Structure 1
Amino acid sequence: MNTIVATGEENTFAKFITPIIISVFAVYLTMGMTLGVLPGFVQNDLHFGSLVVGIVVGLQSLATLLTRAYSGTLTDTRGAKTSNYLGIALVAVAGAVYTCAVMFGPSAGTTLALLIVARIVHGVSESLSVTGSLTWGIGLVGAPKSGKVMTWNGIAMYAGIALGAPLAIWMRQAYGIQYVFASMILLSGISWMATFRLPALKVDGTHIRTPFYKIIGLISGQGLGLAFASIGFACISSFISLLFNSRSWGNPSLAFVTFGACYVLTRVFFSSFPDRFGGYRVALVSLMIELCGQLLIRFAPSPELAIAGCGLTGVGFSLVFPALAVLAIQKVAPQMRGTALGAYAAFFDLSLGLAGPVAGVIAGWAGYASVYLFGAVSCLMAVIVLLGKNREAGKAG
């Protein structure tokens, strides 16, 4: 009997979550594609420096950060499906602006300005789509499976980023960069079609809402840990291709693929670890693994060891988000789940938005390899934050 019930629950989970996973994958494939070609395009084609590269890359995360409160409120008051679909529509808009920038920009300055607009729109789309998809999935299958929902959403997100980068590099070499950006419009359509048959969630309009700043205070411990942990990922996504180019190590696609594969496989095989061993313990071990990965990239004398460092970073970073997110959403009422997820993810956005420019300054001053020392120190800071918050919680108890 228990086996039948478990099988039925798994079938229900797959029925609702599989379309959302496909939709999220399509959206994040567009983000991986831009990361694969934008740094090189801004530096080599438009002839801007490392700081500008960092700003252009980081602007998307900054735009996502600044709209997290709005996306959380919209998700809780208008519905997760509405939030998700608005985000998908903005992906298509961003794709159109990217395409116009590279095809019709009359000068490097104009092209850069259009790329900045596209990055901002792309960032808003991420805020709406991911908050909507996470809240939608948890609402459809129930809060007890929230960790599993976030784990599989994360797989879709980082698989999209990891596969999008080499796909974009190949497309640019084979067809031109304009086709990379134009394909974003097609992918937004695929994302919409994957979920249009799923039911919308009911909205409780009578619930008295907690202000966003108070939600941030409630989940600040988990959020700060995530923020520092995310810097290692930001360093890889923004500068690993430039590190490879500066050392004549060839195509950096394998570095992106290795990070993504290790990230995804860790989530597939160890997704139960936060529930079995506790989010706090899993986060600490994961951070130490990520720290080792960043140091390996920093001191790698060969592309093979740098790629191995990307893999270790993927393994370490993989379980940080779900381990801390489950703890975060337990601190709020179900009617505030979208806002809590938005606040928690805002720390991730803040991290990526600041990490790009800071890493750009470090790269210009001390070289691209030094960026990964910055990533290692950030992992150590995350460990210190979690240890401090755990000590405070122990005293309060």
Structure 2
Amino acid sequence: MNRQAIAPLSRREATCCLLPFATIVLLGYLTVGLPLAILPVYVHDYLGFGPMIVGWVMASQSIATLLTRQFSGFVADTRGSRLAVFNGMLLCSLSALLYAVSLWNHGLPKIALLLLFAGRAVLGFGESLLITGVLSWSIGQVGMLYAGRAMVWVGISMFSAIGGGAPLGSILLKQSGFGTVALVTAILPLLACVLMRKIEPIPPHNGRKIGFFKVVGLIWPYGVSLALNTIGFGALFAFLGLDYAAHHWTGASFGLTAFGAAYVIARLTFGGLPDRLGGQRVARVTIPLQIAGLVILWLAPLQWVAFAGCAILGAGYSLTFPALGVETIRHVPPQNRGAAMGAYVAFVDIGLGLAGPLSGMVVSQFGYPSAFLLGACASIVAFAFVLRLPCIIAGDIYFMRKLGCIERLENDCSGQVEHI
């Protein structure tokens, strides 16, 4: 029986319960972080492809993740979150092996590029299962009272892996080569599989489930805002290294570290605000911070100014995901929690999937800093969208009631839909 059916946890107990999940995500997500600063330079400088191809390589992971979110939510809801996480870890490990095979074929650039695309696609599928499963599993462990806290700790681990993994990957590359990076990246998810055996599994919920696209219909306003806010984040990770190189600056990986450190610090300091104040109120503060960070990156005349822009962007983006996520999870029944998390995080994939190609087109015409201006414009639209969320949600509920969807949904879910 879920411990939340017996008694709610205290904040300290909830945090202790979430730490093993955070460790699992950290180990698994290093498969994303370790090669992150290396891949754009590898594709551009070693394989000889242009910015557009760099953008597509970086976006291909998110596209694969997007296409598999529905399946990941289905696995988590029907087969259990633990199985989803385990399979995701195995796929993350396999992706690193494909990177290594690509390196061995670098003398044949087109074949090496195809292998990179394959590795990114496998990683995208693995990330989909991992994050969807961990979010559903951890929220099931601590209960809805701490849903925002669960998202905070998952995000801390993700961006710790990105912020710490990027410079660590660069160091490993200089010391031992790309093969060592691939080997380490392949081993870490397997260590996470050992750790997750000690965590109590959550059995699938027995309530009647609603369809995935009906879940999307319930949460889409929050997801669209999240996708728009993610475009600037995607542009940062796709083109920061090349922007630094174009300015003859060094230390692009430490710019990513600044983003990750600010992200983690903001979550540790203010991570409880979405649960206490409500997600919309928090998002109305964090999105303007993102805009400021992106504008600074766009206009940065010096390396330290760009570094500050990365940190401000990280601090702003940090709480946007849990802020909008808390509102999302309140609109679905518990037996569809995996589908809801899969659908919600899919909007991150949409944002990242758009960021690479769109930024590549803009960069080809106007230079690398223009990628950050594109992200700032997308966040401005997202901010306007968030300001109108209450009206949009009210309108959706009105039309769904007119069509009888709310009543059918409440009957299907035995009255468990919250805040509708």
Matched residue, 1:380: 380
> Are residues 1:363 and 2:363 paired?
yes
| Alpha carbons of structure 1 residues 143 and 38: separation in structure 2 relative to 1, 3 Å | same
Q: Which residue of 2 aligns with 1:264?
A: 264
Please list the CA deviations of residues 249-269 of structure 1 after superposition, one character each: whole Å capped at 9, or x if unmatched. Answer: 112122011100100000000
* Residues 1:276 and 1:13: Cα distance change in structure 2 (over 3 Å): closer
Structure 1: unaligned runs, 5 residues or longer: 1-5
Partner residue in 1 for 2:118: 117
Which residue is 1:188 aligned to? Answer: 189
Shift of the alpha carbon at 1:392? Answer: 3.2
Assess if the C-alpha contact under 8 Å between 2:138 and 2:150 holds in 1.
Answer: yes
Matches within 5 A, 1:176-215: 176-205=177-206, 207-215=207-215
Tell me what 2:151 maps to.
Answer: 150
Offset, 1:15: 4.3
Letter in 2 for 1:216: V
Q: What SS is found at the alignment partner of 2:199?
A: coil
Shift of residue 7 of structure 1?
A: 12
> C-alpha displacement at 1:11, in angstroms?
5.4
> For residues 116-135 of structure 1, what are the alpha-carbon distances to aligned partners after superposition, in whole Å with 9 as ceiling and x for unaligned?
00000000000000011111
* SS at structure 1 position matched to 2:49: coil
| 1:332 matched residue in structure 2 | 332
Separation in 2, partners of 1:140, 1:278: 21
Q: 1:393 to 1:71 in 2, by over 3 A?
A: closer
Instruction: Spell out, residue by residue over 1:41-62, the C-alpha distance to the aligned partner (whole angstroms, 9 max, x if none).
Output: 0000000000000000000000
- Aligned-residue CA RMSD (Å): 1.6
TM-score, L = length of structure 2: 0.90
User: 1:204 Cα shift?
Assistant: 3.0
Taking the TM superposition and a 5 Å limit, the aligned residue runs for 1:84-123 are: 84-123=85-124
The residue type equivalent to 1:192 in the other structure is C
Q: 1:276-335, CA deviations, whole angstroms, 9 ceiling, x for partnerless residues?
A: 332112101111010000000000100100010001100110100001101101111100
Cα distance in 1 between the residues matched to 2:18 and 2:349: 24
Equivalent positions of 1:1-397 (< 5 A) are 9-10=10-11, 12-205=13-206, 207-393=207-393
Report the counterpart of residue 3 of structure 1 in structure 2. none
CA contact (8 A) 1:161 1:260 kept: yes
Task: For residues 23-49 of structure 1, give each alpha carbon's deviation from its aligned partner in whole angstroms, at most 9, with x where no partner exists.
Answer: 101111110122110000000000000
* Helix, strand or coil at the partner of 1:35: coil
| Rounded Cα–Cα distance in structure 2 between residues aligned with 1:180 and 1:313 | 28
Query: Which 4+ stretches in 1 moved above 3 angstroms?
Result: 6-12, 392-397
TM-score, scaled to structure 1? 0.95
One-letter identity of the residue aligned with 2:281:
R
Mean alpha-carbon deviation: is it higher for 233-242 or for 76-85? 233-242
Identity %: 36
- More deviation, 55-64/232-241: 232-241
Q: Secondary structure at the match of 1:209?
A: coil
**Alpha-carbon shift at residue 384 of structure 1 (Å):** 1.6
Change in Cα spacing, 1:149 to 1:8, as seen in structure 2 (3 Å) is: closer
Q: Is the 8 A contact 1:241 1:252 kept in 2?
A: yes
> 1:167 Cα deviation (Å)?
0.8
Following superposition, the deviation at residue 140 of structure 1 comes to 1.3
SS of the residue corresponding to residue 23 of structure 1 reads: helix
Question: Gapped runs of 5+ residues in structure 2?
Answer: 1-6, 399-420
1:234-256, Cα deviation, whole Å (9 max, x unpaired): 11111111100111111212201
Q: Does the CA contact (< 8 Å) of 1:287 and 1:379 recur in 2?
A: yes
Amino acid at match of 1:355: A
Aligned residue identity for 1:177: F
Q: Is the 8 A contact 1:16 1:198 kept in 2?
A: no
The amino acid across from 2:261 in the alignment is A
Counterpart residue identity of residue 114, structure 1? L
Between the two proteins, the alignment pairs up a number of residues equal to 391
**Whole-angstrom distance in 2 between the partners of 1:346 and 1:204:** 22
Give, in whole Å, the separation in 1 of the partners of 2:179 and 2:244: 24
CA deviation map 1:74-133 (0-9, x unaligned): 000000000000000001111111111102455000000000000000000000000111
C-alpha separation between the residues in 2 aligned to 1:340 and 1:325? 10
- In structure 2, the CA distance between the partners of 1:293 and 1:149, relative to structure 1 (3 Å rule), is same
Whole-angstrom CA distance in 1 between matches of 2:69 and 2:225:
18
